[in-house]
A and B are shown apart, each in its own frame.
Chain A
Amino acid sequence: MTLPRETLLRAYRQMKTIREFEERAHAEIMNGQIPGFTHLYTGQEANAVGVCEHLSDADTIISTHRGHGHCIAKGADVIGMMKELWGSSEGLCKGKGGSMHVADFERGILGANGIVAGGPPISVGSALAAKIRGNTNVAVSFSGDGSVNQGTCFEAMNLAVVLQVPAIFVIENNYYSEHTNISYAVGCDDLKARTEAFGFPVFVADGADFFAVYEAAGKAIEHARAGKGPAGVFAEQGRYHGHFVGDPQHYRGAGELDDLRKNHDCLKNFRARMQETGELASEELDAVDAEVMALIDRAVAEAKAAPRPTPEQVEQDVYITYGA
């Protein structure tokens, strides 16, 4: 597969932005700067970017508790996101939602979601709207390996098939739901077959390889845009951090994290491929790195200096109208 230079540069930039956003968020959480519960996406960047590189602002995504990567990949304003993590009134959600509820409707981001498998049914609705309106938009739901055992996930998958709507179920297998391995939580040996039994194709990819995810997602999205109903993408790739920041990670085997960072790194893989094919020079990628670092520095500096919300904002935005 060869991709245009702009696509390659943008994909790398997005993955790098997610990586640095998360690593900085991690450092700031450890410094006690960011309140609440934060779940980091580090390691899984190629999943989000490989999918979202196929999407326009008119397509929608719905995300999870581990949502920063999805939102950045779909084009959310990085500085607004960082401000939201800090709880500023200038954050993307005015400090009301925080890490777990980042949303940017202008970019087609229907929100990160704190309820496991809360998203898939909602994405069916967005896909249904596309079908009723007769356009070729698609609706992607990201959810984890833990989400596939929720009734809402089953219901959404079946409904999408019944209605033949362009919903894309992206299941990110990072092997764990909190502290439980997928080999325990999913009762059958073949989750792909179990999912395909709903009646739609599932395309599997190595989540450390941007090109693999891009290709698998491309097939799924093409299927849905062509009016053939829903499709699935399974991307396998471990997360580099704990479930949440502060997780003691008792479930990891010896050397597991080292192996992940060393041998399953989408950024390293991307650079190696560029070196091999000569499509992008390493200086070009270095330049992207520098720009990303500057952006993240700026985002953190602005988030720290951003205005704080005030008590009267508590009761704003509960409704649009409040009766007479």
Chain B
Amino acid sequence: MPVKTMRDAINEALHQAMAADDSVFVIGEDVAGCMGSNGKPGSVGGVFGVTTGIYDKFGPLRCVDTPISESAIVGAAAGAALVGMRPVAEIMFADFVGVCMDQLVNQMGKFRYMFGGKTTCPAVIRFAAGGGFSAAAQHSQSMYQVMTSFPGLKVVIPSNAYDAKGLMLQAIAEDDPVLFFEPKALYQESCEVPDEMYTIPFGKAAILREGDDCTVVAFGQMVGRAAAAIDALAEEGITCDLIDPRTSSPLDTATILESVEATGRLVVVDESPPRCGLTADIAGLAADRAFHALKGPIKQVCAPHSPTPFAPELEAAYLPSVEKIIAAIRGTMS
């Protein structure tokens, strides 16, 4: 099977979805690039390269380059979706949800409910999320934990290239609005990705390791670190389930609870700050629904309650590390 990066896997999904369905289009800042300039339009393909080649293949009507206007981009995607198109909008850094929050939350996220189930809004909004680049407080946030709290929005956080392609094709097929958070630290990470189209259902977690002693749930960029921690402990005979929910909304509670019932221990890992975040959410789920099975304290491994610092050593201390995850697993075992 061919090996592809997460960037290329998502790009391939976009190409294939657009070829298969005329109602799919992309919209966002520099998704083509070089518009109005002396350069060739389309030669950028998004600042992270995820929309590469789409302008050349599908032209300006379906590769819609925009000014810097995030509210209008999300609103335009929502409006086009209300009348039956399937837009995939790019908002570049996840931090910029701050600029377009109303269109995301009060508008597209609520149409169906407010309008009595009479409409659909099949828009996908893409973001590059997370830390690891010394990009400081306004370009490093994950934000998906915040967006997960809003009923009406579906939230996807792929952790590898294979899932990213299947989840993107599912996102485009979904009739509900979907926020798709691409961990930017993983764009260059690769794995085997089939050439053909396939979908991965929402609300279905991946079980990436199986073990007896502890359940580890991790999201996005942290899935790889959790796997490294688990593999290190396996050498000492400590074995863990590793669950990657892949979508935080809907959340595969059944798989998580089943695993916790079996292992009796839970460590939840995410790179966002702790308050009202995904680690607290899942810890709460287990405390509520699997308390009887717990043999040790639930441990949350996440960033501290602080913005993301700039200096590399501060950011390294800020983000959950393999060592911290190992310590948390040991902590719940002892």
What residues make up the interface of A, taking CB atoms closer than 8 Å to B?
35-37, 87-89, 93, 95-98, 100-101, 113-117, 146-147, 149-152, 176-187, 250-254, 256, 308-311, 313-315, 318
Check B297 for interface membership: any CB of A closer than 8 A. Answer: no
**A97/B40 in contact, CB under 8 A:** no
Instruction: Please encode chain B, from 241 to 265, with 1 for each CB lying within 8 Å of some chain A CB and 0 for all others.
Output: 0000000000000000000000000
Which of B30, B38, B70, B304 contacts A252 (CB under 8 A)?
A: B38
**Would you call B96 and A311 a contact (CB within 8 A)?**
no
- Between A and B, 14 residue pairs with Cβ closer than 8 Å are A93-B310, A95-B311, A96-B136, A96-B311, A96-B314, A98-B134, A100-B139, A149-B67, A151-B71, A151-B72, A179-B33, A179-B39, A181-B35, A308-B311
By beta carbon, the residue of chain A nearest B69 is A149
Given the contacts A117-B68, A178-B30, A181-B36, A100 and B306 also touching, CB distance less than 8 Å: no
- Would you call A180 and B29 a contact (CB within 8 A)? yes
B residues near A37, Cβ cutoff 8 Å: 133-135, 139
B132-152: CB near A (< 8 Å → 1, else 0) gives 011111110000000000000
Complex Cα gap A308–B313 (Å): 8
Residues of the B chain whose Cβ atoms lie less than 8 Å from the Cβ of A87: 134, 310-314
In the assembled complex, the Cα of A115 lies from the Cα of B94 at a distance in Å of: 12
Judge whether B296 is part of the interface by a CB distance below 8 angstroms: no
Contact between chains at A101 and B138 (CB < 8 Å):
yes
Q: Which partner residue on chain B sits nearest A93 by CB separation?
A: B310
Question: Which residues between 53 and 88 of chain B lie within 8 Å of chain A, taking CB atoms?
Answer: 65, 67-72
Q: Which A residues are in CB contact (< 8 Å) with B37?
A: 176, 179-181, 184, 251-253
User: Contacts of B35 on A, CB cut-off 8 Å?
Assistant: 180-181, 184-185
Contacts of B306 in A (CB 8 A): 314-315, 318
Q: Are B314 and A179 neighbours in the complex by a CB distance under 8 Å?
A: no
B211 close to A (CB within 8 Å): no
Assembled-state Cα–Cα distance A182/B317 (Å): 41
Q: Is there contact, CB below 8 Å, between B68 and A146?
A: yes
What residues on B are CB-neighbors of A313 within 8 Å? 309, 314
Q: For the complex formed, measure the closest distance between the CB of B68 and the CB atoms of chain A, giving whole angstroms.
A: 5
Decide if A251 touches B39 in the complex (CB within 8 Å): yes
B310 (CB) vs chain A CBs: closest residue? A98
Q: Roughly how many angstroms separate A278 CA and B137 CA in the complex, as a whole number?
A: 48
B292 adjacent to chain A (CB < 8 Å)? no
CB-nearest residue of chain B to A187: B67
Q: B99: which A residues are within 8 A, CB to CB?
A: 115, 150, 152
Contact of A250 with B40 in the complex, beta carbons under 8 Å: yes
A180 near B33: Cβ-Cβ < 8 Å? yes
Shortest distance from the beta carbon of A85 to any chain B beta carbon, whole Å: 9
Q: Which residue of A lies closest to B66 (CB)?
A: A185
Nearest Cβ on chain B to A120's Cβ, whole angstroms: 13
Is B43's CB under 8 angstroms from A101's CB? no
CB-defined contacts of A152 to chain B, threshold 8 Å: 99
Q: CA A253 – CA B96 in complex, angstroms? A: 31
Residue of A nearest to B33 (CB): A179
Most buried by A among B36, B71, B310: B310
Q: Which residues of the other chain, A, contact B36 by a CB distance below 8 angstroms?
A: 180-185
| Contact indicator B68/A150 (Cβ below 8 Å) | yes
How many whole Å from B208's CB to the nearest CB in chain A?
29
Q: A36-B133, A36-B136, A314-B304 are in contact. Are A251 and B34 (CB under 8 A)?
A: yes
Q: Which residues of B contact A97 (CB under 8 A)?
A: 136-137, 310
Query: In this assembly, does B47 line the interface, its C-beta being within 8 Å of a C-beta of chain A?
Result: yes
A117 to B38, CA, bound (A): 26
Of the candidates A100, A183, A314, the one having the most CB atoms from chain B within 10 angstroms of its own CB is A314
CB of B307 within 8 A of chain A?
Answer: yes
A315 touches B134 (CB 8 A): no
Partner of A36, one of B135, B304, B313: B135
Residues of B within 8 A of A187 (CB): 67
Asked if A251 contacts B311 (CB within 8 A), the reply is: no
B65, A114: Cβ atoms closer than 8 Å: no
Report yes or no: B310 in contact with A101, Cβ–Cβ below 8 A.
yes
B314:A95 contact, CB within 8 angstroms: yes
Residues of A within 8 A of B331 (CB): none
In the assembled complex, the CB of B252 is this many whole angstroms from the nearest CB of chain A, namely 32
The residue on A at minimum CB distance from B92 is A178
**What chain A residues lie within 8 Å of B310 (beta carbons)?**
35-36, 87, 93, 95-98, 101
The listed residue (A117, A180, A314) touching B314 by CB distance below 8 A is A314
B312: chain A residues within 8 A (beta carbon):
35, 87
Complex contact A98–B136 (CB within 8 A)? yes
When A98-B134, A256-B38, A311-B317 are in contact, do A149 and B309 touch as well, CB less than 8 Å? Answer: no
Q: How far is the CB of B100 from chain A (nearest CB, A)?
A: 9
B118: Cβ under 8 A from any A Cβ: no
Contact indicator A178/B47 (Cβ below 8 Å): yes
Which of B39, B71, B305, B309 gathers the greatest number of chain A CB atoms within 10 Å?
B309
CB <8 Å contact, B311 and A100: no
Q: Is the CB of B68 within 8 A of A250?
A: no
Contacts of A96 in B (CB 8 A): 136-137, 309-311, 314
Closest residue of chain B to A313, judged by CB?
Answer: B314
Interface pair B311/A98, CB less than 8 Å apart: yes
Please give, as numbers and ranges, the residues of chain A lying within 8 Å of B313 by CB-CB distance.
87, 308-311
Q: Indicate whether B162 reaches chain A with its CB closer than 8 angstroms.
A: no
In chain B between 256 and 283, which residues have their CB closer than 8 angstroms to a CB of chain A?
none
A113 CA / B67 CA spacing, docked (Å): 19
Closest chain B CB from A14 CB (angstroms)? 25
Alpha-carbon separation in the docked complex, A252 to B67 (Å): 18
User: Please, which residues of chain A bring their CB within 8 A of the CB of B34?
Assistant: 179-181, 250-251
Considering the chains assembled together, what is the distance between the CA atoms of A309 and B309 in angstroms?
10
What are the residues of chain A within 8 A of B70 when measuring CB–CB? Answer: 150
Across the interface, name the chain A residue whose C-beta is closest to B304.
A315
Q: Report the minimal beta-carbon distance from A107 to chain B, rounded to whole angstroms.
A: 20
Among B65, B69, B307, point to the contact of A151 (Cβ < 8 A).
B69
Residues on the B chain within 8 Å of A89, using CB: 311
Alpha-carbon separation in the docked complex, A115 to B38 (Å) = 27
**Within 8 Å of chain A (Cβ to Cβ): is B318?**
yes
Q: Which of A97, A151, A250 has most B Cβ within 10 Å? A: A250
